Amino acid sequence: MKTRLLILFFAVTVTARASESATNVEYSGGDTTAFDATRNAFSLAARNLLPAHHTTYTLGSFFFDESWLAATTTPSDRDGLGPLFVARSCFACHVRNGRGRAPDSFLPTDTMVVRLSVPGVGPNGGPKPEPTYGLQLQTHALPGFKPEAQILGSYRNLSGRYGDGEVYYLRQSQFRLADLGYGPFQTNAVISPLVAPAIIGLGLLEAVPEKTLRALATADQQRHDGISGHVNLVWDVTTKKFTVGRFGWKAEQPSVDQQVASAFNGDMGLTTTLYPHENNTDAESRFTQSPSGGSPEVSDEIFAATVLFSRLIAVPARRDATNEIVLRGEKLFHQLNCAVCHVPELQTGAVPGLPELAGQTIRPYSDLLVHDLGADLSDHRQVFQASGSEWRTPPLWGLGLVETVNQHDQLLHDGRARGFAEAILWHGGEAEKSKEQFRGLPKADREALIRFLRSL
Ligand code: HEC
Ligand code: HEC
């Protein structure tokens, strides 16, 4: 009797919450939303995580946080790192599941990935690898091997003025390669440094039906207001077909599992069933002598756990959503057309095996489409259908907590913006009109808009 009552009670509270998350804008991640605004804000599991998924989630979290080791003669679950790599753990870049940052002046990057390519089209319609260094720079190596290079950042300030005459500064970044380990770098090669994004709510973004994204793109084409996002069609390694990209700054990965497998491979030199070869297409023969951590190095079980973990991290709830200034900022966000790209609300569809993510009302502030944001933000690197100046609208959920979690306020793909105002002022291209309207706002309105962004 007592258990039946308890079960009944449980069912009632869950449905009550479910309907609340559908209507209450505080619930950014639907029923997955967690209420924690401390430095652990990105470190919680989906609040509705099923008990059956707890063990796998915890296992995935462990293999995400811990450093991987060089292979030795003693077998281990966690070996096979390198021989070349960018970091030893996922956590090293996605610190507390949060964001990486650009390096201080003249220091090497530590939480960024540096993508490379030369003009032209590479395998499966993707970017064409630099002949020696491949598609991604490997900045570290095991003893006995040479890192490919270091990348150093430096900055200068550009100044501008708001409509009311107040001066602002934008930090412009420049990156250059140093200590090239394997000979010259093709002169027309492109270097694109990217910061690690926060990895909250990714299973929810994956669960937004493709037809929703296509409908958003069609709506853009029909409005004729200069905003025209489109899906990036990218190569799916499993189905061997082109499919809609969702993850990464240019939406170059179609799914969380392919994103995670490519991170193991490209960032840490670890093989998986999805990517069974070391990421050394650049000069494959260089490294055949290096010891292997098994085949694949990341077992299917550990891989699946890391993917489940990456899908089911909670999105933090909004703070101050009904504050008067925040509400005024929210109104401006719509008036300035920010919401056309940063779409406030989406619905997820069915998710086989993960009912936690299905049928949720979510508030990511993204359309997951790629948009041309103008020459000043271009990395000049074509990634499938995304040109150098095209970027995926990044979700804005959780952005107000980055400073608390990661102790910095850097934004945009390469971390150049110091805070919200600079991020908005770098917008150009399809977002030029929105940017100009922001520039022209009275100070109090600019601050209200930023207060709203901070509440996300
Ligand atoms: C060297 C730094 C680095 C390491 C190590 C790293 N990542 Fe990332 N991660 C990034 C960067 C940079 C991006 C954005 C990539 C892009 O834009 O194409 C990213 C993107 C992602 C995304 C997609 C996020 C989004 O919003 O689109 C996921 C998921 C992810 N990483 C998971 C992992 C996992 C799991 C590991 C460990 C196996 C890992 N990462 C290791 C830097 C790193
Ligand atoms: C045409 C589509 C579009 C419009 C309109 C637009 N944005 Fe963006 N926004 C983007 C894209 C794409 C990026 C990523 C650019 C990059 O990283 O280089 C971005 C980045 C941002 C970022 C930084 C996010 C991060 O994770 O680093 C913020 C904050 C932001 N936008 C706020 C706004 C605000 C506020 C407005 C209205 C004044 C606005 N945006 C209008 C597409 C748009």
Give pLDDT tens digits for 179-191. 999 999 999 999 9
User: Can you give the pLDDT at residue 295?
Assistant: 84
Residue-wise pLDDT for 42-71, tens only, equals 999 999 999 999 999 999 999 999 999 988
Q: List, chain by chain if needed, residues with CB within 6 Å of any ligand 2 atom.
A: 227, 333, 336-338, 340-342, 371, 373, 377, 391, 393-394, 396, 399, 411-413, 420, 423-424, 427, 430-431, 434, 438, 449, 453
pLDDT above 70 (res 421):
yes
CA of residue 153 relative to chain centroid, distance: 21
Verify cis geometry, omega within 30 degrees of 0, for the bond prior to 276.
Answer: no
Residue count of the chain: 456
Mean pLDDT of 284-290: 59
Distance CA 272, CA 259 (A): 12
Cα distance between residue 439 and residue 375, in whole Å: 19
Q: Which residue has the tokens 């077992």?
A: 299
Cβ burial of 118 (10 Å; 0-12, 13-18, 19+) is middle
Mean pLDDT within 419-444? 98
- What is the rounded average pLDDT for all residues in the chain? 93
Closest-approaching ligand to the CA atom of 229: 2
Percent of the chain at pLDDT above 90? Answer: 86
CA-247 nearest atom, ligand 1? 27
Q: Distance, CA 103 to ligand 1 centroid (Å)?
A: 17
For the residues 351-377, what does the mean pLDDT come to?
98
- 337 CA closest ligand 2 atom index: 5
Residue 291: predicted pLDDT: 72
Is residue 435 predicted with pLDDT exceeding 70? yes
The pLDDT value recorded for residue 444 is: 98
Give residue 107's pLDDT: 86
pLDDT in tens, 200-233: 999 999 999 999 999 999 999 999 999 999 999 9
Least confident of 282-296, 345-359, 389-403, 438-452: 282-296
pLDDT exceeds cutoff 90 at 108:
no
Contacts of 297 (CB under 8 A, 6+ apart): 71, 79, 80, 270, 271, 272
Q: Identify whether the C-beta of residue 267 lies closer than 8 Å to the C-beta of residue 85.
A: yes
How far apart, in whole angstroms, are the C-alpha atoms of residue 11 and residue 15?
A: 6
State residue 12's pLDDT score.
41
Nearest alpha-carbon partner for 347 in 212, 216, 236: 212
Question: How many CB atoms sit inside 10 A of residue 327's CB?
Answer: 16
Judged against a pLDDT cut of 80, whether residue 279 lies above it is answered with: no
Where does residue 172 fall: left (phi above 0), alpha (psi -120 to 50 degrees), or beta otherwise? beta
Query: Among residues of the chain, what percentage have pLDDT more than 70?
Result: 93
Q: Residue 76: pLDDT band by 50, 70, 90 thresholds?
A: confident
Which atom of ligand 1 lies closest to the CA of 111? 2
pLDDT classification of 241: cutoffs 50, 70, 90: very high
Which pLDDT band, with edges at 50, 70 and 90, does 379 fall under? very high
Q: Is residue 251 a contact partner of residue 232, using CB atoms and an 8 Å limit?
A: yes
pLDDT grade for 323, boundaries at 50, 70 and 90: very high
Among 64-73, 248-257, 283-292, 406-415, the range scoring the smallest mean pLDDT is 283-292
Q: What mean pLDDT is predicted for residues 142-147?
A: 92
Which ligand is nearest to the Cα of residue 388, counting in written order? 2
Report the pLDDT averaged over residues 298-314. 97
Predicted confidence at residue 13, as pLDDT, reads: 46
pLDDT at 156 over 70: yes
Q: Out of 259, 298, 309, give the residue to mutate to test ligand 1, the one with the largest number of ligand atoms within 8 Å of its CB.
A: 259
Which of 393, 402, 449 most suits a substitution to test ligand 2, by most atoms within 8 Å of the C-beta?
393
